[in-house]
Structure 1
Amino acid sequence: MGERRSIPFRHQRHAQGFAFLALPESGILYALSIARTGSAMSKRTDIIDGKDAETRNYGLVYTRKCGWIDLGHANPASARGLWRDILATQTACHPSGYSRVVYQQRMSKFGITASASRQYEIKDSLTLADQKAVALAIFLDVSIEFERMQSNWFYSMFTDSGFSAEDLVSDLLGFYRAVAPGTQYVKACEPVSQADALAIWDRFGPVGSIKNTSPGPYLYTIDPATGAGSAVCAQLPPFLRSIAPAVKGDLFRDVPP
Structure 2
Amino acid sequence: MSKREEIKDGFSSSNRKSGLVYTKILGWIDLGHACGDDAKRLKAILFEEKDRKYFPEFNDWYFPVDYFQEMVKHLRFGLDLWAGVHAPLMVRSCLSNEMKKRIALTIMKQTAWRFEAFQATTMIAKFTDSGFSGEDLVSDLLGFYRVFGTGIDPLILAMPTTKNYALSIWDHYGPIGNFKNKEFRPLLFPQPVPPKKQTPRKGYLPSWLNYIQPLNDLNENSLSNRHYDAPKNNFFPDNNRLNEELYVSLRRKPSKEDNLLRQKNFEMPSHFYINNHKPSSPDYFHSTNNF
TM-score range, shorter chain: 0.7 to 0.9
Match of 1:108 among 72, 78, 97: 72
Q: In percent, how many aligned pairs have the same letter? A: 35
Q: Which residue of 2 aligns with 1:200?
A: 169
Q: Which residue of 2 aligns with 1:65?
A: 25
Residue 90 of structure 1: CA displacement? 8.5
1:151 to 2:123 alignment: no
1:218 to 2:165 alignment: no
> Do the aligned partners of residues 223 and 152 (structure 1) sit closer, same or farther apart at CA in structure 2, a change above 3 Å counting?
closer
CA distance in 1 between partners of 2:2 and 2:72 (Å): 13
Q: Which moved more, 1:201-210 or 1:165-174?
A: 201-210
2:54 aligns to what SS in structure 1? coil
Q: Which residue of 2 aligns with 1:117?
A: 86
Q: Which residue of 2 aligns with 1:252?
A: 223
Instruction: Read off the aligned partner of 1:82 and give its amino acid letter.
Output: L
CA distance in 1 between partners of 2:3 and 2:194 (Å): 28
Instruction: Read off the aligned partner of 2:72 and give its amino acid letter.
Output: S
CA distance in 2 between partners of 1:104 and 1:92 (Å): 20
Instruction: Give the alignment's TM-score, normalised by structure 1.
Output: 0.79
Structure 1 alignment gaps of length 5 or more:
1-40
1:47 to 2:7 alignment: yes
Structure 2 alignment gaps of length 5 or more:
76-80, 227-234, 236-277, 279-291
Return structure 1 stretches of 4+ with deviation > 4 angstroms.
90-93
Partner deviation per Cα, 1:172-210 (whole Å, 9 max, x = no partner):
111111112542221110011111111111221211111
2:219 aligns to what SS in structure 1? coil
Equivalent pairs, count? 217
Instruction: Give the alignment's TM-score, normalised by structure 2.
Output: 0.70
Instruction: Read off the aligned partner of 2:181 and give its amino acid letter.
Output: N
Q: Which moved more, 1:247-256 or 1:166-175?
A: 247-256
8 Å contact kept, 1:67–1:220: yes
CA distance in 1 between partners of 2:83 and 2:33 (Å): 16
Match of 1:99 among 37, 57, 63: 63
Q: Which residue of 1 aligns with 2:37?
A: 77
2:214 aligns to what SS in structure 1? coil
1:160 to 2:129 alignment: yes
1:165 aligns to what SS in structure 2? coil
Let me know the Cα RMSD of the aligned residues.
1.9
8 Å contact kept, 2:172–2:192: no
